Structure 1
Amino acid sequence: MASLAGCGLLSQFLGAVAAKRGGCSLQEHARPLQRLFRPDRGPHIRPGRRAYSSDSKPADDLSVRYLDGSDSGIVVFGINRPKAKNAISKNLVKMMSEAVDAVKVNNKVRTVIVCSLVPGVFCAGADLKERAKMHQNEVGPFVSKARALITELGNLPMPTIAAIDGAALGGGLELALACDIRVAATSAKMGLVETKLAIIPGAGGTQRLPRAIGVSLAKELIFAGRVVDGTQAKELGLVNHAVEQNNSGDAAYHRALDLAREFVPQGPIAIRMAKLAINQGIEVDLATGLAIEEACYAQVIPTKDRIEGLAAFKEKRPPRYKGE
């Protein structure tokens, strides 16, 4: 374990996981959806249908919902700024930061899906109209807050999935890149287009895109400010899955929900430790990465879930994991 001495982040993270395992209820932090969305139909459903037990009230730029029933443990962040094409504003950054802070301390949250409630767009990047009204000395701090939000999203301990059913440009694609998994409609448009505005991606794009698709391809896309569709994004490795869009415009959301349903039954502590081992290990040499894996494995040995998994296997029944 001495080889882990240089991995301060790992030690801090493991301590945080252990300290926060008890978690707290998210209900007081949850912001209701402007429009209901039913797990089996996606974010856009017929008016008058009731999807969840709690009341839904109008929300501003972001809606957060905790699915129930068999989908309990799945949380959906729905971006909802139709007049601004879901552009990233000060208020959206604030609301999403609050949502991220809430889920990261809740051990009942198994997967987070980030999607759009606005048909045809995921996120059009920075709100340039709002940006134009900012004084020059306000721009830097705002970009720093947006970058911090996207970093915190990337650091969530549970799996995160971006459902890209429309345009994801600039900061919108950077938001998706911070998620563990990306699913896109074949008709979706994606690109880091900042060089067209004489700036560079400022919320992690220059770092996460090369890690996702390789350095040379990332340079080509960023230098050209090129936009690709969902099919091309799948070929490049930018998204895990590309699906044909449906009539309701939420095909990527449905695919993301299917993925989340595959993750939920698995041991939640094991999933979190696997994510940590991968994220930390990919940044270091193999020997250190293996030591990180060993340290993460050690965290699952004393859990009740591990004993439950063995008992369920022996008794030939589905395991009942509690995250303990």
Structure 2
Amino acid sequence: MSGLQPERSREAIEVDLDDRGVLTITLARPEAANSRNQAMRRELAEVYTAAGIDDAVRVVVLTGKGDRHFCAGMDLKEAGQPETPVARRERLRSARDIEQLARLPRPTVAAINGYALGGGFEMALACDMRVMATDAKVGLTEVRHGLMPGGGGTQRLPRLIGAAKAAELLYLGKVLDGPAAEQLGLVNAAVPAADLHDRVSTLAGALAEQSPSALRAIKESLLASAELPLSAGIEKELDGLLFLIQEQQAAKD
């Protein structure tokens, strides 16, 4: 549990594990729009590692501190510092905490409370489900700065909404509010900001009541669906089902 202790000193995030097994990770740099700096990426990676092996964690919720920003993406002040090409590549590689989030063996929910842009939206896209305040904004706006996503945005977005719509959002750097994002299927629900916490808490609580083994197997199969041919994916699904049946039988013996 050392990686999840709420009293542990952290620079950029806050963590809280409640008695239901819901781990809430709050991006806590409101003075910098909760942007992703090196400290945040490092601390997120540490917490994801701990959450992945701690059986007390049943669900992970990711949100931003304050009511204006979920995460505005890259810390531009930090990124603007002089660096060598090698150092720049290593810094960009450190965004792989997003891949850790995507592959956590727990259900993950993004509670999008404000602006989620660039890498901030990529973190939300890496979650299994997204609930968004109606007045929040999401988008992959890197093209407006002559750049492109680097945390999986070009890969996850078309898997969610199709290639043509993804191209439109990426090429134009479009920013969407909650209702528009819900209509496209980018988020599971868009709710008034005042209701966001309760809506996500209810969803997380319902997830926490399910079988952890079943949820893990379902998530593994869902992840495989994006990488395997259909026939191989069906075999993966069957393997998961057989494992769960055997686990239940062993528990009865």
Q: Is the partner of 1:258 in helix, strand or coil?
A: helix
Which amino acid in 2 is paired with 1:30?
A: L
| Residues 1:77 and 2:28 aligned together | no
Structure with greater helix share of residues: 2
1:303 to 1:215, Cα distance in 2 relative to 1, 3 A: same
Q: Which moved more, 1:160-169 or 1:126-135?
A: 126-135
CA contact (8 A) 2:4 2:51 kept: no
Aligned sequence identity (%): 37
| Residues 1:156 and 2:104 aligned together | yes
Q: Is the partner of 1:29 in helix, strand or coil?
A: helix
1:305 to 1:244, Cα distance in 2 relative to 1, 3 A: farther
Q: TM-score, normalised by structure 1?
A: 0.74
What's the offset of the Cα at 1:57? Answer: 7.2
What corresponds to 2:156 in structure 1?
208
Give, in whole Å, the separation in 1 of the partners of 2:67 and 2:237: 41
Which amino acid in 2 is paired with 1:118?
A: G
Looking at CA atoms only, which structure, 1 or 2, has the larger radius of gyration?
A: 1
Unaligned runs of 5+ in 2: none
Unaligned runs of 5+ in 1: 1-25, 33-55, 309-324
Count of paired positions: 251
CA contact (8 A) 1:89 1:130 kept: yes
1:77 to 1:112, Cα distance in 2 relative to 1, 3 A: same
1:155 to 1:57, Cα distance in 2 relative to 1, 3 A: closer
Q: Is the partner of 1:291 in helix, strand or coil?
A: helix
Give, in whole Å, the separation in 2 of the partners of 1:186 and 1:31: 32
Give, in whole Å, the separation in 2 of the partners of 1:299 and 1:254: 35
| Residues 1:165 and 2:113 aligned together | yes
1:1-324 superposed matches below 5 A: 26=1, 28-32=2-6, 56=7, 59-68=10-19, 71=20, 73-137=21-85, 138-146=87-95, 148-246=96-194, 251-304=195-248
What's the offset of the Cα at 1:108? Answer: 2.5
Which amino acid in 2 is paired with 1:209?
A: L
Give, in whole Å, the separation in 2 of the partners of 1:176 and 1:99: 16
Deviations 1:244-290, CA, capped at 9 Å, x for gaps: 111xxxx3332221111111111110111011112103432222111
Give, in whole Å, the separation in 2 of the partners of 1:111 and 1:306: 25
1:81 to 1:243, Cα distance in 2 relative to 1, 3 A: same
For the aligned residue pairs, the C-alpha RMSD in angstroms reads 1.6
